[in-house]
């Protein structure tokens, strides 16, 4: 099994050509998106035995650390992360 850790966070930097209707989330919407992310991610992973855990970050209330344990390789795990992040208007980076 592979273990991948990501910092998942919200950041508003305006609209883009890909998402011209993107708008600023309020604190409740940010909290809800971060809370839903660990529950939604398994649907994007093609590994039914994958486990997803999370913990808050100490410095930033608008981010969490997500740990994925999966048989998927790094590329497939990253692709699943990206699709899930996009669906909730969040960003992520490997830690």
Tell me the pLDDT tens digit for each residue of 33-75. Answer: 999 999 999 999 988 899 999 999 888 889 999 999 999 999 9
Residue 90's contacts (CB-CB under 8 Å, 6 or more residues apart) are: 8, 9, 10, 33, 34, 37
For the entire predicted model, the pTM comes to: 0.88
């Amino acid at each position: 099994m592979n273990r991948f850790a990501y910092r998942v966070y919200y950041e508003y930097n305006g609209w883009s050509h890909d998402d011209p209707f993107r708008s600023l989330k309020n604190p409740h919407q940010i909290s809800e998106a971060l809370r839903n992310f660990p529950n939604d991610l398994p649907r994007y992973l093609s590994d039914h035995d994958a486990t997803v855990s999370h913990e808050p970050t100490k410095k930033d209330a608008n981010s969490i650390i997500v740990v994925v344990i999966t048989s998927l390789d790094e590329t497939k795990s990253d692709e699943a992360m990206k699709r899930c992040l996009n669906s909730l208007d969040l960003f992520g980076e490997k830690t």
